[in-house]
């Protein structure tokens, strides 16, 4: 008996399309999906019409080539990269379980087939009628022109999203180019992955973005210790294009590895010689306890601190700084709080035993050199800016900055791709907001100011967001905080008056749009796909069109061109390029012009599939020139040095406004530990919501991408991690259905009782698609039903790991 899906495709038909129907064929297809050994003859070309190079384009940080085998216009098999070898600098870029399951994404019952127009009384009703492309484009052009004429370009907003992240053409899809030609739009700064660290690093290292650390390739050759601090490459970067391969090679090379994480992740289980389990949001306290040990035992690299840093001690403070405002004074209890930051003090806050803090501090201080590779989990807290800068500080205290085998305390380094993205032109609107404050800009935009809300480019917004594009994004109903409140804001269409969504899957965010446009998948369009955070081996992938677009789907670049023609800027938009293939050829031709003799031609890349390249300078060692000669190569900080004490932050602390302050709304000039709302102190001081809740990245999906694929959902089930101690107190056993809830929302999810998470903490795999019942309970297990819209103090960012909840058996 077949079950009908919302768009009329039966489960039986879907299983046939995706290759997981019954019988022996299903076993072969499932093996291919899961990356298992191939059945005999599966890799042969004799039973297919063509094998086409494509790619998995999602925001895991890697980009992996795929070989799509096509028969009678249908993708019948997905194969991994077969170029390269198992050597470090020419390694195969094998796709993980997600990319290998691409067929189920292409032939999914959730595919958007035709343009859809909302007819429901409110957006959350999710009611639509099908319309033609001409109707859709006319409606879109009218609404966009009305917004420009009535409110001005600042009212137009292109929503952040990562479903098509960094494919050279699909990343923008032409939307930014179109809006810029029409007068511009309200921009955003940062992204949900690392917004806090992207904004706070400028006050420590002078970098306008995060400061990368040494590459793992360098660590393999030169490091004696790698500290994965809030970093889990074996789950977040688990392909041949990710860090999984290099991290395991580092282990084979005998490099000791330590993981710092509240959860005993796959990386901790496979890579780590030691696991430091701390309470979420307490990283700066752990660093402070370690610093106390180093100072007490004279283990810090004082020569480095004296030469390259300001603010560590009272003898090296900037002019005008108050007495006892240095980091050392803070550690020794001479600062304003009068508290000595002993390992015992840190143990009470972090949950890490004082003896382990002492040993960890000695290991990091005496093992030379050390690469402290900070992930993006620590900065995604209510005090995330201080957390990130404190980990940077640890690298500086130990003198590991700018040397082979060492590191800056940032994320593992990489060679950034040399190929160009689609040229969007220049946005005439200089105003930007934090990418996390778009709900505020809809709800009360004209009240948002620079000092209170982080508006950049002007003192305040003049209008709220009235027109929003949601392209390749599931921010409206998955990745943004407080899903319930976000849906309430979006339901009021007197605020944001028109929302257009474009995607190839009918996710919950698309159901909140006024107009939905069916996008192609990567298999149905052309693109050039670059590597990104893939270490020192960079590459580009040919993503050729393997099949004709299904249903009435169209590539975004062709849709924006049609819209540009309707709005009178078609020639300026296209510059003679009308199709995705035209633009892909432009990318490759431009890459060759910018890098003579380096890249293959478009046709050569189409045949080759993957082109690898490395830097002639060898492995990445950031800030090496600064370390070699700090006078000739100063940093972009006011002092030209590493600023452990930032006068700029001190000034911001005096001038920035917090209209509705809560615990943690505080800017400090040093990376001090700041207790926050819904932190461990509050968890222990009340009984209503005693558990800290975080969300971890998950094998079954990248953020919410692939979250609707049944094969992956079966292989990696959505379950909340809870410790045996916390489970026993609630009479919960593994696989019991439980409710996780707070004042913002409630989810129903099976429990995973495990000692792999510390007591007092639970973790819900992030990115699950919501499945709301009539009472507003989510049965999909989306952690953002529980998270907050509260901003972090400096970046005005997404402290989405700072939440208190209760758990009970359903």
Q: What is the CATH number of the domain that holds 166?
A: 3.40.50.740
Q: Are residues 80 and 124 in the same domain?
A: no
User: Taking the alpha carbons of 735, 737, 738, 740 in that order, is the dihedral positive or negative?
Assistant: positive
Distance CA 409, CA 392 (A): 4
Count Cβ atoms within 10 A of the Cβ of residue 454 and give its class: 0-12 exposed, 13-18 middle, 19 or more buried. buried
Residue appearing with tokens 């108050």: 322
β-pairing, 737-742 vs 745-753, is antiparallel
What span, in angstroms and rounded, lies between the C-alpha atoms of 184 and 558? 20
Q: Looking at the domain assignment, is residue 205 inside a domain?
A: no
Our count of domains for the chain comes to: 4
Please answer whether residues 2 and 107 qualify as being in contact, where contact means their C-beta atoms are separated by less than 8 angstroms: no
Task: Examine the domain organization and report whether 285 and 369 are in the same domain.
Answer: yes
User: Based on the domain organization, do 410 and 464 belong to the same domain?
Assistant: no
In a domain, 601, yes or no: no
Same domain, 141 and 97: no
**Token pair of 88 as six digits:** 């470090």
Rounded mean pLDDT for each run of 10 residues along the chain, 810 residues in total: 31 31 27 32 72 94 94 98 93 94 97 97 97 98 98 98 92 97 98 97 97 97 98 90 89 97 97 98 99 98 98 97 98 97 98 98 98 98 98 98 98 96 96 98 98 98 98 96 98 98 98 98 97 93 98 98 98 97 98 97 97 96 98 98 98 96 97 98 97 95 95 95 98 98 98 98 97 97 98 98 98
Report DSSP state, residue 451: H
In this structure, are 310 and 366 located in the same domain? Answer: yes
540 phi, psi to nearest 5 deg: -130, 150
Residues 301, 437 within the same domain? no
326 in a domain, yes or no? yes
Say whether both 409 and 450 belong to one domain. no
Same domain, residue pair 395 and 437: no
pLDDT of residue 4: 29
pLDDT at 46: 72
Question: 330 by DSSP, 3-state: which?
Answer: helix
Same domain, 396 and 429: no
What span, in angstroms and rounded, lies between the C-alpha atoms of 791 and 103?
39
Distance from C-alpha of 332 to C-alpha of 295, rounded to nearest angstrom: 9
Residue 10's φ and ψ, nearest 5 degrees, are -80, 155
Mapped onto helix, strand or coil, the DSSP state of residue 413 is coil
Regarding beta strands 74-80 and 64-71, do their DSSP bridges make them parallel or antiparallel, or are they unpaired? antiparallel
Residue 802 lies inside a defined structural domain of this protein: yes
- Output the CA–CA distances (angstroms, integers) from residue 421 to 53, 168, 608, in the order listed: 20, 4, 21
Indicate whether 628 and 709 sit together in one domain.
no
Does residue 53 sit in helix, strand or coil? strand
Asked if residue 599 is part of any domain, the answer here is no
Q: Tell me which of 106, 128, 162 is where a domain ends.
A: 106
CATH code, domain carrying 651: 3.40.228.10
Same domain, 425 and 399: no
For residues 642 and 635, what is the distance between their CA atoms, to the nearest angstrom?
Answer: 7
Q: State the alpha helices, DSSP H only, in 19-168.
A: 24-33, 102-106, 133-151
Q: Is position 614 within any domain?
A: no
Look up the domain containing 451 and give its range: 116-185+419-521+552-580
- Of 246, 239, 274, give the one whose Cα is nearest residue 259: 274
Q: Is 612 part of a structural domain of the chain?
A: no
**Which residues, 6+ apart, have CB-to-CB distance to 348 below 8 Å?**
none
Task: Let me know whether 363 and 428 are in one domain.
Answer: no
Residue 34 pLDDT? 32
In 3D space, the residue among 64, 214, 20 whose CA is nearest the CA of residue 620 turns out to be: 214
Nearest C-alpha neighbor of 246 from the set 415, 418, 59, 35: 415
User: Considering the entire predicted model, what is its pTM?
Assistant: 0.93
Map tokens 């992955």 to a residue: 193
Q: Is 667 inside a domain boundary? A: no
């Amino acid at each position: 008996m077949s079950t009908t899906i919302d768009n009329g495709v039966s489960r039986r038909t879907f299983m046939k399309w995706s290759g997981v129907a019954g019988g022996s064929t299903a076993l072969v297809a499932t093996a291919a999906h899961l990356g298992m050994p191939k059945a005999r003859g599966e890799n042969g070309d004799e039973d297919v019409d063509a094998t086409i190079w494509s790619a998995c384009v999602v925001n895991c940080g890697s980009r992996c080539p795929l070989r799509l085998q096509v028969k009678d216009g249908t993708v019948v098999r997905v194969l991994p990269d077969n170029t390269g070898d198992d050597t470090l600098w020419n390694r195969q870029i094998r796709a993980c379980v997600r990319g290998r399951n691409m067929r189920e994404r292409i032939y999914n019952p959730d595919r958007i087939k035709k343009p859809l127009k909302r007819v429901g009384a409110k957006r959350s009703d999710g009611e639509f009628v099908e319309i033609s492309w001409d109707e859709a484009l006319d409606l879109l052009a009218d609404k966009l022109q009305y917004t420009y004429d009535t409110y001005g370009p600042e009212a137009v907003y292109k929503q952040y999203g990562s479903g098509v992240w960094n494919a050279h053409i699909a990343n923008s899809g032409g939307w930014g180019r179109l809006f810029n030609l029409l007068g511009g739009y309200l921009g955003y700064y940062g992204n949900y992955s690392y917004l806090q660290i992207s904004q706070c690093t400028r006050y420590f290292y002078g970098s306008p973005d995060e400061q990368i650390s040494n590459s793992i390739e360098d660590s393999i050759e030169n490091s004696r210790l790698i500290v994965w601090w809030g970093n889990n490459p074996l789950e977040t970067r688990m392909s041949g294009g990710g860090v999984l391969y290099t991290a395991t090679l580092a282990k084979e090379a005998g490099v000791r590895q330590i993981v710092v994480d509240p959860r005993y992740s796959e990386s901790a289980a496979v890579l780590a010689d030691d696991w430091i389990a701390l309470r979420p949001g307490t990283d700066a306290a752990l660093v402070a306890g370690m610093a106390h040990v180093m100072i007490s035992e004279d283990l810090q690299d004082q020569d480095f601190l004296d030469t390259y840093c300001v603010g560590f001690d009272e003898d090296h403070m900037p002019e005008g700084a108050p007495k006892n405002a240095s980091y050392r004074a803070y550690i020794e209890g001479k600062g304003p709080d009068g508290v000595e930051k002993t390992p015992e003090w840190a143990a009470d806050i972090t949950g890490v035993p004082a003896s382990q803090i002492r040993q960890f501090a000695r290991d990091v201080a005496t093992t030379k050199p050390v690469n402290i590779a900070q992930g993006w989990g620590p900065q995604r807290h209510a005090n995330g800016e201080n957390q990130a800068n404190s980990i940077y500080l640890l690298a500086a205290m130990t003198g590991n900055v700018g040397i082979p085998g060492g590191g800056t305390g940032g994320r593992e380094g990489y060679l950034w791709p040399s190929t160009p993205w689609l040229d969007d032109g220049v946005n005439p609107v200089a105003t930007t907001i934090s990418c996390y404050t778009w709900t505020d800009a809809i709800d009360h935009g004209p009240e948002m100011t620079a000092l209170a809300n982080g508006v950049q480019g002007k003192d305040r917004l003049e209008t709220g967001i009235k027109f929003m594009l949601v392209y390749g994004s599931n921010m409206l109903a998955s990745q943004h905080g407080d899903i319930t409140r976000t849906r309430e804001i979006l339901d009021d269409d007197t605020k944001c008056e028109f929302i257009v969504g474009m995607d190839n899957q009918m996710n919950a965010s698309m159901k909140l749009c006024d107009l939905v446009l069916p996008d192609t998948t990567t298999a149905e369009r052309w693109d050039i796909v670059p590597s990104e955070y893939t270490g020192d081996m960079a590459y580009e992938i040919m993503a050729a069109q393997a099949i004709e677009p299904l249903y009435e789907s169209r590539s975004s670049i062709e849709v924006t061109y049609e819209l540009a023609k309707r709005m009178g800027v078609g020639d300026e938009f296209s510059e003679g390029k009308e199709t995705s293939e035209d633009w892909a050829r432009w990318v490759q031709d431009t890459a060759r012009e910018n890098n003579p003799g380096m890249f293959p031609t478009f046709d050569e890349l189409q045949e080759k599939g993957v082109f690898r390249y490395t830097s002639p300078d060898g492995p990445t060692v950031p800030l090496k020139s600064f370390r070699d000669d700090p006078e000739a190569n100063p940093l972009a900080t006011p002092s030209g040095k590493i600023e452990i004490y930032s006068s700029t932050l001190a000034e911001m602390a005096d001038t920035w406004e917090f209209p509705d302050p809560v615990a943690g709304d505080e800017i400090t000039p040093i990376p001090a530990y700041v207790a926050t709302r819904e932190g461990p102190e509050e968890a222990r001081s009340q009984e209503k919501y005693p558990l800290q809740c975080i969300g971890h990245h998950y094998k079954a999906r990248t953020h919410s991408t692939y979250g609707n694929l049944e094969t992956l959902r079966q292989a990696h089930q959505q379950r909340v991690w809870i410790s045996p101690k916390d489970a026993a107190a609630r009479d919960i056993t593994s696989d019991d259905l439980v409710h996780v809830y707070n004042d913002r929302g409630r989810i129903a999810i099976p429990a995973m009782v495990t000692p792999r998470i510390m007591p007092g903490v639970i973790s819900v795999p992030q990115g699950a698609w919501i499945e709301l019942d009539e009472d507003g309970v989510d049965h999909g297990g989306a952690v953002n039903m529980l998270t907050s819209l509260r901003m972090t103090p400096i970046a005005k960012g997404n402290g989405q790991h700072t939440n208190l909840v209760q758990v009970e058996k359903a």
